[in-house]
Chain A
């Protein structure tokens, strides 16, 4: 039977897109939703990490005598007695099963490489007793002077060739940037500094390890990717995947820090097996700053050359940043610089320095967030230099194809509409182009804007759809919900796939016993899981169509399956849509209680390759030579470059005496394909912008230069925005249909919301004051200092 459900149009929607309330909302408000540290487990014992006071040196002795005498203490593990894993971690791309962000596993010997590194795991019958015993352990060290960052005078900067632990090229040259820049009529060069940032999810990382015998394991884990956790544990323990079950039903945020496998999880699992008890370990808030990565301290130098008329001719990007003693991680900031505008010449290079810190990791829009701060600040400066409106300047350099990817056409791009609608909502035309002119009382008022973008990463996953003859359905996929709404939006997708009201559809996620899905990261979950559910539904449709065309009582009796189409749960003849019936009607006559569909769905270039190449579409050969693109992927077989786009508009008030910057208005307009749920999507884009405002104005982790130890590892002194920092915000979406990216035309929205935000704030500050701040966060001391110095 050949049916072609993949026409280059998108299916109609009914429930999808609606601002439906969260299906898990009531459970969360009532405290019934279980997070990873909340599962009741019989015989549970508690683990507490003891971490290193020093950043570099060697353990000379560990005195556990006092701790061991504490009542309730079951076991104390140090490097001397913790069981060894079957394999050591690796970050190498070749070892796909092991997706550690850090290749170094602590507690394997006496060496200490970073402050906060685990030195002991204490297991006791209660959390309080384990905590107390951990405090009583005395560790003596032979201390060496650590290196704290790339700007430490003792740090050696080196060319890593590859960044992101080998996943991405550290060099990129397109055209002849040196020459083009040298001969450019207008030049701009600036250096931008980005502070260390931490993800700071509300829910700390937690692991509950439950062994059955020596080779069957269930882990309740706070992870954005249960499949990754399963694979990593299988690899490290030398146990087949199918004997390891990971459960993650709810996450209290993650922002990237729960998207990798980290040492505390394997240490907990090993300790649990050794004590032969279910073991729970929850990181403390300070430990969250030294256990699950961070956004690295970094500086970028960006050179941009343009013609007198304002056409970009060259961009050259350089980044210096700190990495750990073992891994070569840096966010790939240059990607967004390379692709956002029409610029024929480009280069990028990275330098790293090893310091006594743990390996940094992706954090919300890794690369795009800090990269866009440099690019969009420089673009604003250049517009000013050219005496042009910043929005007009961007339109002049609008990229109508992807210059960074062989000039591929976009699968969809609604950026012009975003600019226009955002400018209208915000009142951009009222902006005084001359900086420092607008006052409101004692405050200086300014307006700024910036472009947002995020790529559609290629991804795939599976789902199962089970329709019952009574008109109910269960939809399953081993996805996770960071708190952003996966539970809800996939219920909506399932409802439309089967033509049922959402209250008759139950969606299940967060368990490796369910069909495998990608993690929530890289903005790929919504697009992939929705596509998987649609693919699984199609598998089910085919089965029901087969039943219907053989059923005398069906209006479709004797029709050719290829002539039948399904929309919103109703099968009908393509040529005569009146003739048809619902899936449920056909199923209920069959005598079967239920029927199941299962399939793999794709997201991004893989989807286009699968569904358009055969039809003679734009796709090329997957084996084409040409090496890897800057995103670290092999030459894309797809014909389209796939990205979402948006525009931010920001108003700030600057107090010139106090140095304080407050965002007073915010407008964001985005083109992200099909929005699955208007309410959760809007919330997620509020969240992205707020995250960006935090990084712009207040977020910074301070690492002491002499001790290489964080000094503000708590939520009182690591400032994230509070309600009073955030004004009324307006978020809108422009309608956008993209049939090339996945079954419903969904682009992810987890990251685009933050991209460009810091620049939009900095540009508004420039418009308010005439001062350009290039070091994040833009705290009052920096603003005052800039205002003190003459232009």
Chain B
């Protein structure tokens, strides 16, 4: 029994879902207006927005996420990559590949471009949206396999990662309940370094702006709560302030294979160096934090100092102070410092 899909709605990559009603379990709504989408979103987790679907469909196939309704937001007008008064404004529905290859982003916000182009594969970058990327969920194996207990997936069941496969998990910001790198990707590391602001819109059509530094939540005792997004809120745009440290920025990623792998460690850095002295600095680390890890400690060690390796080493040491490693991920303490120093050296040389 094939449903008739209005022709104007067939633009979404997911329109085919409507003609496959045999796979029970969720309904599908293709929203054409923002309020249609946010208004349909329920308070519990029974409904979800879908844009690129590269994380969501994956987790639904694994039975990690089970939704009764998917709300396709691809038709909504949250597009555009432009320089505004606030800086770079990216519509949340722009695709990773389009943003990563955009001239403005490449020239004025290179760390953002690099973080996007070093992520995933070409096929995934062509599908995945910017808003969805920010909400990417952890690759912690215990979260992704329902045969294991996991406090993030089922609160109160425990965290086997601490005595298990924790090689790729976090060393900063973790809690007894969860040691996942809750966001495993790259983009938010660059965004958090460059003080990005997320614009959220709710079912009443009201927008609010949340700095990405305040968007993610550390696991604490509630690792299942990952951010401050309200159930009816949709990310509609990302704004990144224009700044010299944004223009002179860089994203460096270290991984097990040369492409198509999550970061073991990564660093997004931006420097404004004048006359050999660092005027402003931005530092964020990936692969090591329970959330994308902005290191103000490292930035403080950089500002006002000469842009040289000794300064960078001191900043790197400050960035990992308090790190708590587990059996298989202690190497990240050294590796992330080296990653950060390398990134700072390269960006300082670039000027």
Contact = CB atoms under 8 A, between A and B. Distances in A.
A in complex with B = yes
Interface of A: 53-54, 70-72, 115, 126, 128-129, 132, 135, 657-660, 662, 697-698, 702, 704-707, 709, 711-713, 716-717, 719, 721-725, 779-781, 784-785, 788
B145 A711 contact: yes
Interface of B: 20, 22-25, 63, 139, 141-142, 145-148, 160, 163-165, 167-168, 254-262, 264, 331, 334-335, 338-339, 341-342
A70 B25 CA distance: 11
B339 to A, nearest CB: 7
A595 B334 CA distance: 73
B20 to A, nearest CB: 8
A71 B24 contact: yes
A704 B258 contact: no
Contact of A785 (B146, B255, B258, B331): B331
Given A128-B24, A658-B342, A711-B164, 14 more contacts: A128-B22, A129-B23, A132-B23, A135-B63, A706-B163, A707-B164, A711-B142, A711-B145, A716-B139, A717-B139, A717-B141, A780-B256, A780-B331, A781-B264
17 contacts: A53-B146, A128-B23, A657-B342, A659-B335, A698-B257, A704-B160, A704-B164, A707-B164, A709-B145, A711-B141, A711-B142, A716-B139, A716-B262, A724-B259, A780-B256, A780-B331, A784-B335
A514 to B, nearest CB: 38
A716 B262 CA distance: 8
Given A115-B147, A724-B259, A725-B258, A784 B334 contact: yes
Contacts of B260: 716, 722
Contacts of B23: 126, 128-129, 132
A704 B257 contact: no
Given A657-B342, A658-B339, A781-B264, A719 B164 contact: no
B259 A722 contact: yes
A284 B262 CA distance: 23
A128 B25 CA distance: 11
B164 A781 contact: no
A456 to B, nearest CB: 34
A723 B258 CA distance: 8
Nearest to B149: A707
A723 B254 contact: no
A781 B335 contact: yes
Contact of A72 (B22, B254, B258): B22
A784 B160 contact: no
A425 B319 CA distance: 47
A724 B259 CA distance: 6
B254 A707 contact: no
Contacts of A779: 256
B14 to A, nearest CB: 16
Contacts of B145: 709, 711, 713
Contact of B141 (A132, A659, A712): A712
A719 B163 contact: no
A706 B342 contact: no
Contact of B22 (A126, A709, A711): A126
Nearest to A657: B338
Given A128-B23, A711-B165, A781-B264, A719 B331 contact: no
Nearest to B334: A784
Contacts of B164: 704-707, 711
Contacts, number: 104
Given A135-B63, A658-B342, A781 B139 contact: no
A660 to B, nearest CB: 7
B165 A712 contact: yes
Contacts of A784: 331, 334-335, 338
| Most chain A C-beta atoms within 10 Å of own C-beta, residue among B25, B147, B334 | B147
A674 B11 CA distance: 55
Contacts of B264: 780-781
Contact of A706 (B160, B331, B335): B160
A698 B256 contact: yes
A707 B339 CA distance: 34
A719 B335 contact: no
Given A711-B164, A712-B165, A722 B257 contact: yes
Contacts of B141: 702, 711-712, 717
B162 to A, nearest CB: 10
Contacts of B167: 702, 781
A132 B259 contact: no
B337 to A, nearest CB: 9
Contacts of A716: 139, 260, 262
Contacts of B254: 658-660, 780
B148 A707 contact: yes
B257 A719 contact: yes
A357 B68 CA distance: 36
A781 B331 contact: yes
Given A128-B23, A129-B22, A780 B163 contact: no
A657 to B, nearest CB: 4
B225 to A, nearest CB: 24
Contacts of A135: 63
A776 to B, nearest CB: 13
A120 to B, nearest CB: 15
Nearest to B259: A724
A309 B148 CA distance: 57
Contacts of B22: 72, 126, 128-129
| Most chain B C-beta atoms within 10 Å of own C-beta, residue among A711, A712, A724, A780 | A711
A69 B142 CA distance: 30
The 7 closest A-B pairs by CB, nearest first: A711-B141, A53-B147, A724-B258, A781-B331, A128-B23, A724-B259, A711-B165
A439 to B, nearest CB: 16
Given A128-B22, A658-B254, A725-B258, A788 B165 contact: no
A705 B331 contact: no
A704 B256 contact: no
A723 B259 contact: yes
A659 B163 CA distance: 25
A713 B142 CA distance: 12
Contacts of B258: 662, 722, 724-725
Nearest to A660: B254
B171 to A, nearest CB: 13
Contacts of B261: 719
A725 B257 contact: yes
A765 to B, nearest CB: 15
Nearest to B252: A658
B17 to A, nearest CB: 12
B256 A709 contact: no
Contacts of A723: 259
B165 A657 contact: no
A132 B331 contact: no
Given A659-B335, A660-B254, A725-B258, A704 B147 contact: no
A717 B168 CA distance: 10
Contacts of B168: 717
